[in-house]
Structure 1
């Protein structure tokens, strides 16, 4: 499987009133149809969107439905709220309800979606569903990204890109200086250069991105390349893109070099990390606070990376800049 998944904003649908359920359903169905889902499969997406939005109102009174394409033919929906959580095992049993309803919603989601996962605690709930066309042979890629612009500006100064080949992947996150259209131009220039040859030597790749971003505001950039056969992660960063490896009961930050790609920086030295299989890589722009700790969320590190990205955004977004959170499991990815 060779894939290039380009940067894209997360579509956020507010769910605060029953009237907004219909809009969420139509938005999800339209995305599915745009991705080539037939009428029946698009109907499955619409059903799940309806149930996810309804569950937000039942359990938390208000929240958000996050909608995006997975990049490998799928539709991803994440219901995010700040309610008091619930007993997941009980709620998956048809007939159980905490809201006085028939209690069929969550069980229906878990049966219809090819990928279903939930994390709930006293801070709130995030519920993930990914759906693929029935005729598709696509396998779920255990990655997730939550990308949002400041004040819902159509221009986002962050960019990310994920390239996948058999047994390896390469990912970048860029944060153009400031926010708005000029920051977006800088970040997108870096992404464009990265996408041309994402598996080349990372120091060379950063230099090419530096050239491509010349004449823009420039920005912070991080590149991570994982080789499953060698069981090695190579990380190269310039500026303040945060990066962490999470696994085996510990967390370690990955060091970046000072500078601004596209403006001025010294040659960036790559750092290699061995025996990382089974760990999580988390990359994030400075729109996210750095004081988060997954150990404060028991069990979250074992949930789907898309849930982790959504929850970190929910709880640690600064609210004064664009924000990107990218999470991926370090494991072999095949077709």
Structure 2
């Protein structure tokens, strides 16, 4: 199962006219990715309720959309993101609680229309996650999340990410092409293309393959991890300023990269190995995200879905002056 990175589609929710646009956009995305009329209707209903909820309790926010590659077909992911205080989660979860101008079916009912539903809310705002899969899709949810945004909403993004699942193993990549725009994107994609061929290869050789294919581009910062669920171990290799952390409920470990620019010049990137990581979160991020975040400042967030975590971190720590990517992966051997 290979998951090729893509940008987060962001829809502003600032007035009631944008609720209809969000509904239509989400429904069209579902139809384009194989949802039948009934399942696309579920997507439309959930998008309406999420967008309406933002407008009601926060007055403004965003709806984040993406298509989720699945073992057979696609799912649809929607995240309602805001910075409002005082979100009454229990009231919103109650069936029949109207969010204003909607059917008032409540987020509790929405949670039953979705295959995955999760929420995190505190004084800084709320993030609500909904993932919907076609009724014929019986595969379990793949527990990863990503929030990726280009500078000034440029269609080209110098950040690139990639995920590979193979049995009980997971390999995750983040590249930050130097600068931003089309040339940075070209550098990142050259590296990701090489990575995708052999994501579980020897780390030193894999980095060299990426370096070779990135020569002639601007080059970039590169980091990847290889999780082996059978051995309960993780290998990390990094060159440049991609941040990475292993996080458990009670502790956090930063993963160290080597200096250099892949595709230009770097010394041999010796990988680092970490044991007993099953059940941990892996968080990787480009330098478009500040590094001073700490999940301990968000009580309970470590137990939320990785997609919620990625959106919270991007909302609160994006620098706003570069492409930004946050990739969060639950390290679980259950994929075997």
Q: Please indicate the TM-score interval, normalised by the length of the shorter structure.
A: over 0.9
Shift in Å, 1:34: 1.3
2-structure distance, mates of 1:67, 1:325: 15
2-structure distance, mates of 1:58, 1:35: 30
1-structure distance, mates of 2:219, 2:153: 22
Deviates further, 241-250 or 126-135: 241-250
1:132 counterpart residue number: 133
Secondary structure of 1:49's counterpart equals: helix
Shift in Å, 1:295: 0.5
Secondary structure of 2:284's counterpart equals: strand
2:271 counterpart residue number: 270
1-structure distance, mates of 2:313, 2:57: 20
1:287 equivalent to 2:288? Answer yes
Shift in Å, 1:93: 1.6
> What TM-score comes out, normalization by structure 2 length?
0.96
1:238 equivalent to 2:236? Answer no
2-structure distance, mates of 1:100, 1:133: 28
1-structure distance, mates of 2:7, 2:287: 16
1-structure distance, mates of 2:6, 2:13: 22
2-structure distance, mates of 1:276, 1:92: 34
2:69 counterpart residue number: 71
2:317 counterpart residue number: 316
Contact 2:94 2:106 (8 Å CA) reproduced: no
2-structure distance, mates of 1:42, 1:146: 23
- Distance change (3 Å), C-alpha of 1:318 and 1:57: same
1:45-70 CA distances to partner (integer Å, 9 max, x unpaired)?
01101110000001100000000012
1:197 counterpart residue number: 198
Shift in Å, 1:103: 4.3
* Structure 1 segments unaligned to the other structure (5+ residues): none
2-structure distance, mates of 1:237, 1:132: 34
- Distance change (3 Å), C-alpha of 1:85 and 1:192: farther
2-structure distance, mates of 1:192, 1:307: 28
- Distance change (3 Å), C-alpha of 1:98 and 1:29: closer
2:30 counterpart residue number: 32
2-structure distance, mates of 1:215, 1:311: 36
2-structure distance, mates of 1:248, 1:6: 29
* Structure 2 segments unaligned to the other structure (5+ residues): none
Deviates further, 150-159 or 241-250: 241-250
Secondary structure of 1:288's counterpart equals: coil
How large is the Cα RMSD of the aligned pairs?
Answer: 1.4
Contact 1:132 1:138 (8 Å CA) reproduced: no
Contact 1:85 1:125 (8 Å CA) reproduced: no
Secondary structure of 1:146's counterpart equals: strand
1:331 counterpart residue number: 332
1:152 counterpart residue number: 153
2:187 counterpart residue number: 186
1:105 equivalent to 2:106? Answer yes
